[in-house]
Amino acid sequence: MATDSSAPGLGNEKAGTPGVEPSKPTGDYENGANVGATNENGGKSVFVNSEPMREDQVQNAIKFLSHPKVQGSPVVFRRSFLERKGLTKEEIDEAFRRVPDPPSNASTTQVATSTQEGQLQSALTVQPQPPVHTLQPAAVTTMTVPTPQKSGFQWSHIALAVGLFAASGACTGLLFKNAVVPRLKSWIRKVVSEEDELEKKDQLKPRPIDEAAAAAKAAAAAAAEVARASQEMLHAKNEEGKYFEAFTKLLEVQVEEMKTMRNTICNLEGIRENPRVLDQQISKQFHSESGRPLSAPASIQPAGGAPHSQQFMDVMAMVQRGEKPPGIREINDKVPNATQPLTNSRLVPKSKPWEDTSRVQPSSIYISQTETKVVDSPASGQGAYYANGSATQTQYRQPLRNGTPMAEQQWWKQKPEPNPSYSFNPDRGANVTITEAEPENDGLQTQHSWAPSKESLPRRAWVPPPPPPVAMPEAADAIRRPRSSGWVEGAGDERSTSSLGIGVEQDGPSETGVLGSVKYDNSEVYGGTSAVDEDGSGKGLDTIVPLETEAQ
């Protein structure tokens, strides 16, 4: 403990007193705020992880983050998993830094920023992106595979067709040339030798005609071939299209499988006990707005298999069917009067029992100070305030405090009788199943005892401190000064009141006018200063004193 308290606080920019033992009693309540400040600076080191970074853990994390299936999961889940495994924030950040994954790095920088507003939104957007990213490259790769084939097919087909056309065209051209030229020639010859025998013309004609016919036939055949070839091409295209569709379907199936695998990985890593919680997680991811039962976490749908009553199951079934159970009223819980003030406090905050650790009072002291405080208790009409301060180790063995009728009526203060012998009965019957601590002193240490044993720290008496002297007379004046501050009702004064002790408290109940009535405005009441931050001196509220005053 000594080493821990002497370790410098991480990021402790406040030059407080290091090495302050956090377990030291904080002293009087009046100084509680101040001591708290110094304790915070030293105690701040206690609430911060001061372990050095463990390299083996970082390596494990890197292995985990480098796994391909993990890289498809959202960053939030990865961080959550590592946190559950006990890694510190520094180790997790280091692992994210080292894993070379650009999308996760970008998301990591998103996550690592402080005051992560909208981290949820960014996480949600990161979520669909990785699957889309993985889909797209896969789709692109698969797309490129058939298209070359397709274009290859296309190109080959086109080349074939072009070649055929060219060939047929050339053939026909040649043939026609062969046919036309001789025809021309023959025609010329015919014209020239018209006066010659016409039988020669007749004899010459069939040959070019035959040749032309043959050429036409050949052209037709070539055209038919081309047509067939183009038809085949179409066919092949259709088949290719079908193959492609089948391919995409297979891809989709694969993607679905990957998605389910990813989900099961996440869920397995979550090691949830209740399978209902898995559904809740998944449905919570997608922000199902269909009502509480689907997205209720373990606190409504108790995990661990705790049996539900039939009533509960009926209500759940009704809601999941979409019906509303009867008896639900429309309640207007809007603020009726926005400027209504908070009723003045007539009681002063009491010091807590644990803030009084420096004192061990004997049992017989009754708390006279508390009797001066007005207690709005209907039970204790006379305001007699029995001190339970006799809280020594042996208190529970004292007989019932039944000295006065009032004590008997205040059943909530009656201590249990000594030596009750109840049996510890795990069955939930009508028996009272209370295990009571053995009242013998010797058995205190080993036996269960809700009273601390003798070796432990002495029982704290709930005794407010004796009134310290008026340390700040100006504060006493401040209390008497009329305050017209906001609805906070001068809680800062309460603190100084209590710190000043009884001397001022006696005026408390009658000073309703002094403290002024308070307002809870809807407008921003404070002038921008937070009541909680600032220094740790506990005087935060005093900064809110200058507020607008309103006529009473």
Q: Which of residues 303-362 bind another protein (CB under 8 A)?
A: 303-306, 309, 311-312, 315-316, 319, 324-325, 327-337, 340, 342-343, 345-347, 349-350, 352-354, 357
Token pair of 353, please? 């029992």
Nearer to another protein, 180 or 319 (CB): 319
Token pair of 377, please? 């208790």
Give residues 360-419 in contact with another protein (rule: CB under 8 A): 375-380, 388, 391, 396, 409-416
Cα gap 368→466, rounded to integer Å = 10
Cα gap 487→340, rounded to integer Å = 9
488 sits near another protein (criterion: CB under 8 A): yes
450 sits near another protein (criterion: CB under 8 A): yes
Cα 446 to chain center, whole Å?
43
273 sits near another protein (criterion: CB under 8 A): yes
Contact status, residue 282 vs residue 259, Cβ threshold 8 Å: no
53 sits near another protein (criterion: CB under 8 A): no
96 sits near another protein (criterion: CB under 8 A): no
40 sits near another protein (criterion: CB under 8 A): yes
Among 28, 30, 494, 511, binds another protein (CB under 8 A): 494
89 sits near another protein (criterion: CB under 8 A): yes
Smallest CA-to-CA distance from 545 within 501, 505, 489 is with: 489
Nearer to another protein, 193 or 433 (CB): 433
Cα gap 256→134, rounded to integer Å = 12
524 sits near another protein (criterion: CB under 8 A): yes
Cα 96 to chain center, whole Å?
19
Among 77, 107, 130, 208, binds another protein (CB under 8 A): 77
Nearer to another protein, 80 or 369 (CB): 80
Give residues 171-230 in contact with another protein (rule: CB under 8 A): none
Where is 180: in which H helix or E strand? helix 146-192
Token pair of 256, please? 């679905």
List helix spans (H) across 322-457. Answer: 368-372, 405-409
Nearer to another protein, 336 or 469 (CB): 336
Report in angstroms how near the CB of residue 134 gets to another protein at its nearest. Answer: 22
Helix 146-192 and helix 206-270, axial crossing angle in degrees, nearest 10: 170
452 sits near another protein (criterion: CB under 8 A): yes
Nearer to another protein, 46 or 179 (CB): 46
Give residues 115-144 in contact with another protein (rule: CB under 8 A): 115-117, 119-120
511 sits near another protein (criterion: CB under 8 A): no
Cα gap 519→525, rounded to integer Å = 9
- List the beta strands (DSSP E) in 416-507: none
